[in-house]
Chain A
Amino acid sequence: MLDDFLVRAGLAGVGTALAAAPLGCFVVWRRMAYFGDATAHAALLGVALSLAFQGPIMVGVLASALSMAVLVQGLSGRGLAEDTLLGVMAHAALAVGLVAVSLMSGVRVDLMGYLFGDILAVSKTDLGLIWSGAAVVVGLILWRWQRLLTATLNPDLAQSSGISARTEQLVLTVALAVTVAVAIKVVGALLIGALLVIPPAVARPLARTPESMAMMTALIGSASAVGGLAAAYQFDTPTGPTIVCVAAGLFVLTTLFGARITR
C-alpha cells in the first residue's frame, strides 16, 4: 500500500495536519502567527546548512528552526515593537536562506521543492520521520495541555499557580521547530505558516471549548490535506499551495455560515 506515491502523500499530509492542529491553535490563541513564520522561514537556512555539511535535511531544518525560535523568544520584550521585530526576523530568515541555498554551487537544488513542498516525492523514510515528529508534537502538547492553556490566558495567573509561563513558551517553541521540520516536505517553508493558522481559524466558529476546537482543527487540516492532494492530482496544480487553497476555502465557508451552526 505504501508503494503507491499517492497513499504516501496522503499519509504525509494527514500526519503534518495532526501535528499542526493543536500547535496551530496555540499559535492563534497567543497571536504567534509571525513567530511561526519566522521559524518556518529559518527552515530554508537549515536546508542550506544541511547541503553544505551533507547532512540529513530534516536535522538541519530542525536545528535552524529551533535556533530561530529561541532567538526570537529571547529578543522579544526588549523594547523594539514585537510585531516589527518578528517581521524583520521572518523576512530576513527567508532572504538569507534563499541566498545561502543559491550559494551552494555544484549542488543542484530544487529550490521550489523547499519553498512550496514536494509531497508527491515523500519516501517511506520521510513518512516515518513525519509521523514520529507528529507524535512528539501532539504528545508534548497533550502532556502540557492544562498548563499551556493557563499560561496562554495570562502569565501572572499561571505563575500564581506555580506554572512558569516561560517554560510553557519553551514547550511551544520546541513543538513549533519540530512541526516546521515535519512540514517542510509537505507544504514547504513558505506555506507552513498557513497550515498552522488557517485550520484553527476554520474551526473557531464551530467550537465551544479549546478541546473541541483542537479536535476540529485536526479534522479540518486532514481534510484539507487529502482534498488538496486530490484536487492537485485532478487539475495538475502544485500540491502544497492547493492544500492551502482548500483550507482557505473552508475558512470562507465556516466564517460565513459557522455562527449559525453554533448559535
Chain B
Amino acid sequence: MRLMTAEGLSLGHAGATTLRDVDFHIDRGEIVTLVGPNGSGKSTLVKGLIGALRPLRGHVDQLRDLRIGYVPQSLQIDSFLPLTVTRFLCLPHRHSAEAMARALQEAGVPDLAKHQMRDLSGGQFQRVLLARALLMSPDLLILDEATQGLDQPGAAAFYRQIAEVRDQLGCAVLMVSHDLHVVMAASDRVLCLNGHVCCQGTPDVVQDAPEYRALFGTGTQGAFALYRHQHDHHHHHDHDHDHEDA
C-alpha cells in the first residue's frame, strides 16, 4: 500500500532552493534510505515530507490519518526543563504504563523509565526517541541521522533494532544516514540526493550508478572508503586510524 507520494517537490529556506523536482514515494513495509553529501537536502526532504517545511513547488500526498513516528536528528533539551523518560514518552499523546514499558523494551532500553532525559547517554537517548516513535504505532517510521553521536557498533546495533521493529510492526521506514555501508545493506531502496535526486534504486543499482560514484568515490575500496569520505570530508586517503573492525 502506498503511504506517501511527493511529486515535483521543490524545497528551501528563505527563497533559496535546496532541493529541486523530487519525486518520491514509500510503500508499507519498505525501508528507504536517503544518502548524499552534507547540504544535499536530505534533512530538508524529511522536513518537507512531515510538513515542517512548506513546498516551494510540487506537493506531498499522504494516506488519510497516516501515523508518522519521527526520530529527529538531534534534540536539545534545555537544562531548565525537567523531563523524565516516562513524561517524554507521553508527548504529545499519553500512554499507559504497560505500553510505555513495551516500547522501551522494543527499543532496547527497558530500565530507563524513571531516568531524567538529560542524564541519558547518546545511545540511550536515541533509543528513547525510538521508543517514543514506536508508541505512535507508526505506519511510517522516519529517522533523520538517528545514529549521530553513536560509535559504529552502537550504530550497527541501532539499525538491527530498526529492522526488527519493521518486521514486527510491518511499518515503512525512511532513513537518512551517513553510515552508508550499514544502511545500504539494510535498505530496500536508496535515494541519492545532491540538490536533486541523482539516482535511485536498490542498493546494488545505486552503488554502481555513475552519479553515486561521482559523489562518494568508486571502486574496490567499497563501503569502507565511503565511510571514510563521509567521516572526515577530506578527499585524500590518509588512513590514519583504523575502521577495519567495523
Which of B68, B72, B91 has its CB near the most chain A CB atoms (within 10 A)?
A: B91
A163: nearest chain-B partner, CB-CB: B92
B52: nearest chain-A partner, CB-CB: A159
Closest CB-CB distance, B214 to chain A, in whole Å? 31
When each residue 143-156 of chain A gets 1 if its CB lies under 8 Å from chain B and 0 otherwise, what string results?
Answer: 00011011011111
Which of A31, A150, A154, A160 has its CB near the most chain B CB atoms (within 10 A)?
A: A160
B-chain residues with CB within 8 Å of residue A28 when the two chains form the complex:
78, 80
B132: nearest chain-A partner, CB-CB: A157
Closest CB-CB distance, A120 to chain B, in whole Å? 33
Q: How far is it, in angstroms, between the C-alpha of A161 and the C-alpha of B32 when the chains are bound?
A: 21
User: Which residues of A approach B to under 8 Å, CB–CB?
Assistant: 28-31, 78-79, 146-147, 149-150, 152-163, 165, 200-201, 204, 207-210, 212-213
Q: Is the interface of B mostly helix, strand, loop or mixed?
A: loop
Given A159-B50, A161-B92 in contact, is the A29-B70 Cβ separation under 8 Å?
A: no
Interface residues of B in 83-107 (CB under 8 A from A): 83-84, 87-88, 90-94
Interface size on B, residues (CB 8 A): 27
Closest CB-CB distance, A83 to chain B, in whole Å? 16
Which residue of the partner chain, among B68, B77, B78, B82, contacts A161 with CB atoms under 8 Å?
B68
**A160 contacts B68, C-beta separation under 8 Å:** yes
**A204 contacts B52, C-beta separation under 8 Å:** no
When each residue 176-215 of chain B gets 1 if its CB lies under 8 Å from chain A and 0 otherwise, what string results?
Answer: 0000000000000000000000000000000000000000
Which residue of the partner chain, among A150, A153, A157, A210, contacts B82 with CB atoms under 8 Å?
A210
**A210 contacts B83, C-beta separation under 8 Å:** yes
When each residue 97-132 of chain B gets 1 if its CB lies under 8 Å from chain A and 0 otherwise, what string results?
Answer: 000000000000000000010000000000000000
User: Which residues of B approach A to under 8 Å, CB–CB?
Assistant: 14, 47, 50-52, 68-70, 72, 75, 77-78, 80-84, 87-88, 90-94, 116, 136, 142
Closest 5 CB pairs of A and B: A160-B70, A159-B52, A150-B92, A160-B50, A29-B81
**A201 contacts B75, C-beta separation under 8 Å:** no
Q: How far is it, in angstroms, between the C-alpha of A165 and the C-alpha of B53 when the chains are bound?
A: 11
**B82 contacts A213, C-beta separation under 8 Å:** yes
**B82 contacts A160, C-beta separation under 8 Å:** no
**A150 contacts B50, C-beta separation under 8 Å:** no
A-chain residues with CB within 8 Å of residue B47 when the two chains form the complex:
156, 159
**A156 contacts B82, C-beta separation under 8 Å:** no
**A159 contacts B51, C-beta separation under 8 Å:** yes
